[in-house]
Amino acid sequence: MARSSRRMSSWPISYLSILLLLFFVSPAVMVKHHDFKRCDQSGFCKRNRALADSMTEKGSPESSPYQLDAASIKFKDGRLDGSIIKSLADGDAVKLPLTMTFLDRGNVRVTVDEEKRRKGEIELRHGSVARKERYDEAAAWALTGAGLQAQTTASMKKVSKDVTEVSWGPSGHFKAIIRHAPFGVELWSGEEKHVVFNGRGFLNVEHWRPKVEKPSVDENNTEAQPAEPTEDESTWWDESFGGNTDSKPKGPESVAMDITFPGYGHVYGLPEHTGPLSLKETRGGDGNYDQPYRMYNSDVFEYELDSPMTLYGSIPFMHAHRKSSTVGVFWLNAAETWVDIVKSKHDTNPLTLGLTGGVVDTHTHWISEGGLLDVFVMLGPTPEDVSKSYGELTGYTAMPASFAIAYHQCRWNYVSDEDVKDVDRKFDKFNIPYDVIWLDIEYTDDKKYFTWDPLNFPDPISMEKQLDETQRKLVVIIDPHIKNKDGYFVVDELKSKDLAVKNKDNNIFEGWCWPGSSHWIDAFNPAARAWWKSLFTFDRFKGTQSNVWLWNDMNEPSVFNGPEITMPRDNLHHGNWEHRDLHNINGMTFHNATYHALLERKKGEIRRPFVLTRSFYAGSQRSAAMWTGDNQASWEHLAASIPMILNQGVGGFPFAGADVGGFFGNPSKELQTRWYQAGAFYPFMRGHAHIDTRRREPYMLGEPYTGIMTQALRLRYSLLPAWYTAFHEAATDGHPIVRAQYFVHPSDERGFDIDDQMYLGSTGLLVKPVTVEGGESVDVYLSDDENYYDYFDYTTYAGGSRTHKIDAPLDKIPLLMQGGHIIPRKDRPRKSSGLMKWDPYTLVVVLDKHGEKAEGTLYVDDGETFDYQQGAYIHRQFSFEGGVLRSSDIGTKGAKTAGYLKAMKGVKIEKIIVVNAPAAWSSAGELAVSEDGFKGERKVEISYHAATGNKAAWAVVRSPGMGIGVDWSVKFPESASSAPKTEL
């Protein structure tokens, strides 16, 4: 939750009343633009855009002053080393060490450093003790170390005196063509060029230089004055914004480069922004932005929609996509980063005079304040390939505890332990399932984390025990700002152990946040992380027990009185790195420290931690879930949440959700109801509300709303097996949990702009939430030539590039099942997901349009420990083919497999529903089941329901009783391919 009323209360009354007045005059809340920089208010962004403009004017990169020194090139074991020479106007030259590493799967990494800074041969101004090197530790935080092995079979050849070529991958399928002067790289896959570096000449590495004090105008000196400086140095040596001055002891040091995707019309990614999934152009023009996408993790109060402004988290990773090909770019830099995007259209054939529409190239320009130039390219060719490669590098989504993907109930604030118990009882009274209740900052004693408000929370343990009776959990908030108050043990230890972030003078940094004057833990410091861990043990964090988990907010970090509401860039972290160098990683080191602190709070009790974070970076998926911060209770925010969450999937951090109902403001009952229906398809589903809003727990609304929201929640709970399986795919292959149209249908160009419908994992479930007031229907686009069936009544919709209008009265979620899938569910209503653990499964077999085939998977484990890493899980492939439905094992056995299977022995399949069941089954009556561990076959009953109107035929097998963890097959009657074809 963002700063808000609390901050205002310290302002002068007159200011407050003006604000209140404004508030009543215009009810729409507005972001404070003046708090955050535009490109032209950020020295390095402005300088790099100006360079781009001048290069564009010249129309060719020839004047780019960067040249690869041919004599410096060394190539060994898949790695090229060399020096790029930057020639300066005065005839001097700067040496920039280059490495290119050729990796598996058509991935390549290119890094450029600066020799002088690396060797420490520079001087810092203002007596700064900061490190002199370009920041080179982003990789250590973001990468796991996997996927970095060079392909030793890569080979290099000199094509001409000015061009070097490296081929790698299977039979040299991938090629890097390296132009020496100016330095540039083309990346080819097969016969096609996919990615070009510095093709427009925007490469820029701002080298270190001493500050030359300009001679004061000397009226006595009649000799010629030095020429006017050719460059505008006004933002090189210090820079002010909003009354704060950045001392910039290292001078200018930005890195930037253009990256072009020839023939690619769409780029996706760069979370976190509020615009459409397919990223917009940023250099002005009709419907475009006039600002680059900015990444500088910030606490943006009342953020606006459809904007390239920065938000709380940053992932500098992008998919470029065109029909049947996807490539990825990962710009591994932790400093403030801006990305410009422009597209150009050209004809491949000059004779068509543009009549055929031509080809679109997408040009991107990446600009960072400092650090190494370190960039990965993944040549795909499918979105799955690119996501997998990126996941291999930065880590896959951590397998969550199973409760974490159920419903969370939050509000700022549940005011007392009695309040929490009361809400808990009411959920049960109204038969509404939920798993987790949350406490925002007010539970603490005076905003001192690790303490409880003694008046309102006198007995947290009894509250937690009540929750535990239904296997529910409690999440409490703990932020990185530590109240600066003598006698508060946490701040006393933070200071005495010297574990806080320092200011530019190397003294403890002090700023303002919720508790007032505060200090910030420096989670870059291993000693700070070890200390943090010690605070969470049950004997130290009194009032907590095993069912308490964590929420890390404000970790951008939010500093109410800091520049752009965050820390000064010249603050110092562990290792004397300046804050500017690692700003975007700061939030991740904090939530990761919390994750590690929660792994084992009591000796021997190791559980998968749950941590929610607001700030994030590439790699955050390994230890947290995220939410989209402080949204608003408006239809527009509901609609915007869908592309935002889809984009988290592109960015490899798919465990994402938006505050259901909207944080600021009071949603209408209709809006809140629609939001629960959409939220049931967020990977992370939490209802949350601002302190000034009315209570809005689902039972507060009354009928029909309460009932409809309860149905949405029951749908979520019934599909938890499918969700958990989708999380497992994210955890092993890096695929998004909810997927965008282009990801699922990468060769259908008509879907590349679609970002308001989502697929749940690879289950074939397609949802299109209603996001407009009074909406009574939605238009769903169906790409492939397959039938889709309404989830609830099996109405059939034909695919094949068709758009269908689907009725969606308030009580209906437009949810379809793509033919050819098998979806696992658990249909018994329970109070919490924990109570569903031993419940039987239902399998929904959605046959393809020929009524012949379907397949699906199911992943199950204990949902709380790490035993799955030793084989304690069930992973099944279900397939229907040739009239036989089969379950087969696709897991790998480990030490704990047998024990787990034994524990799960009693968990059975209680129902099979077959949608689009062939007419030949109508008279079947009985089916034969064979199951591992049982001799011979047994008979089960099938009942058949004929197609009516547009509704597909369906059949039900009740109580077939096969174990979920064993091989089995069910024989359906021969259908002689006489499947009914539903004509529409």
DSSP letters along 700-753, please? Answer: GS-TTHHHHHHHHHHHHHHTHHHHHHHHHHHHHH---SEE-HHHHSTT-GGGTT
Q: How do strand 685-687 and strand 407-409 relate by DSSP bridges? A: parallel
Cβ nearer to ligand NAG, comparing 472 with 529 = 529
Of the candidates 920, 915, 933, the residue with the CA atom closest to the CA atom of residue 972: 920
Of the candidates 594, 490, 476, 600, the residue with the CA atom closest to the CA atom of residue 538: 600
Tell me the one-letter amino acid at 579: H
Closest CB 217 distance from ligand NAG, rounded Å: 8
Cβ nearer to ligand NAG, comparing 301 with 551 = 551
Which pair of structure tokens corresponds to residue 900? 């787990």
Alpha helix segments (H runs only) across 323-409 = 383-394
Residue 473, beta-bridge partner list: 436
| CA gap 521, 503 in Å, rounded | 13
- Tell me: does residue 608 bind ligand NAG (CB under 6 A): no
Q: Is 113 a catalytic residue?
A: no
User: Exactly one of 26, 171, 220, 923 binds ligand NAG (CB under 6 A); which one?
Assistant: 220
User: Exactly one of 257, 588, 817, 914 binds ligand NAG (CB under 6 A); which one?
Assistant: 588
Closest CB 425 distance from ligand NAG, rounded Å: 38
Closest CB 592 distance from ligand NAG, rounded Å: 3
554 and 587 in contact (C-beta within 8 Å)? no
Closest CB 527 distance from ligand NAG, rounded Å: 10
Closest CB 283 distance from ligand NAG, rounded Å: 34
- Tell me: does residue 511 bind ligand NAG (CB under 6 A): no
DSSP state of 220: T
How many residues touch ligand NAG under the rule CB under 6 A: the total is 10
Cβ nearer to ligand NAG, comparing 260 with 592 = 592
- Tell me: does residue 47 bind ligand NAG (CB under 6 A): no
Element (H, E) at 929: strand 926-931
Q: H/E/C letters for each residue in 887-918?
A: EEECCCCCCCHHHHHHHCCCCEEEEEEEECCC
Which residues 922-961 are close enough to bind ligand NAG by CB under 6 A? Answer: none
Cβ nearer to ligand NAG, comparing 312 with 972 = 312
Q: Is 232 a catalytic residue?
A: no
Closest CB 548 distance from ligand NAG, rounded Å: 20
Which value, to the nearest 10 degrees, does the dihedral of the CA atoms of residues 119, 123, 127, 129 take?
Answer: -10
Q: For the chain, percent helix, then strand, then coil, each to nearest 5?
A: 25, 30, 45
Q: Is 556 a catalytic residue?
A: yes
- Tell me: does residue 222 bind ligand NAG (CB under 6 A): no
Which residues 107-146 are close enough to bind ligand NAG by CB under 6 A? Answer: 141
Of the candidates 6, 561, 519, 4, the residue with the CA atom closest to the CA atom of residue 242: 561
Q: Which stretch binds ligand NAG (CB under 6 A): 84-92, 467-475, 590-598, 823-831?
A: 590-598
| CA gap 851, 848 in Å, rounded | 5
User: Exactly one of 180, 207, 529, 804 binds ligand NAG (CB under 6 A); which one?
Assistant: 529
DSSP letters along 10-36, please? Answer: TS-HHHHHHHHHHHHH--S----GGGS
Cβ nearer to ligand NAG, comparing 594 with 710 = 594
User: Exactly one of 619, 734, 761, 871 binds ligand NAG (CB under 6 A); which one?
Assistant: 619
Cβ nearer to ligand NAG, comparing 593 with 822 = 593
Q: Which stretch binds ligand NAG (CB under 6 A): 422-430, 591-599, 719-727, 900-908?
A: 591-599
Q: In 414-468, where do the E strands start and end? A: 436-439
- Tell me: does residue 616 bind ligand NAG (CB under 6 A): no
| CA gap 893, 874 in Å, rounded | 10
- Tell me: does residue 592 bind ligand NAG (CB under 6 A): yes
556, 748, 855, 910: which is the annotated catalytic residue?
Answer: 556
Which pair of structure tokens corresponds to residue 379? 């040549």
Cβ nearer to ligand NAG, comparing 588 with 765 = 588
Let me know how long the chain is.
984
- Tell me: does residue 521 bind ligand NAG (CB under 6 A): no
Cβ nearer to ligand NAG, comparing 95 with 596 = 596
User: Exactly one of 90, 213, 218, 703 binds ligand NAG (CB under 6 A); which one?
Assistant: 218
Which pair of structure tokens corresponds to residue 807? 């009725």
Residue with tokens 């329901």: 945
- Tell me: does residue 596 bind ligand NAG (CB under 6 A): yes
- Tell me: does residue 589 bind ligand NAG (CB under 6 A): yes
Closest CB 332 distance from ligand NAG, rounded Å: 13
Give the SS3 label for residue 669: helix
133 and 250 in contact (C-beta within 8 Å)? no
Q: Which stretch binds ligand NAG (CB under 6 A): 105-113, 258-266, 589-597, 918-926?
A: 589-597
384, 392, 440, 630: which is the annotated catalytic residue?
Answer: 630
Give the SS3 label for residue 768: coil
Which residues 154-193 are close enough to bind ligand NAG by CB under 6 A? Answer: none
* CB within 8 Å of 222: residues ≥ 6 apart: none
Cβ nearer to ligand NAG, comparing 562 with 619 = 619
553, 729, 848, 862: which is the annotated catalytic residue?
Answer: 553
Which positions touch ligand NAG (CB under 6 A)? Answer: 141, 218, 220, 529, 588-589, 592-593, 596, 619
Active-site amino acid positions: 553, 556, 630
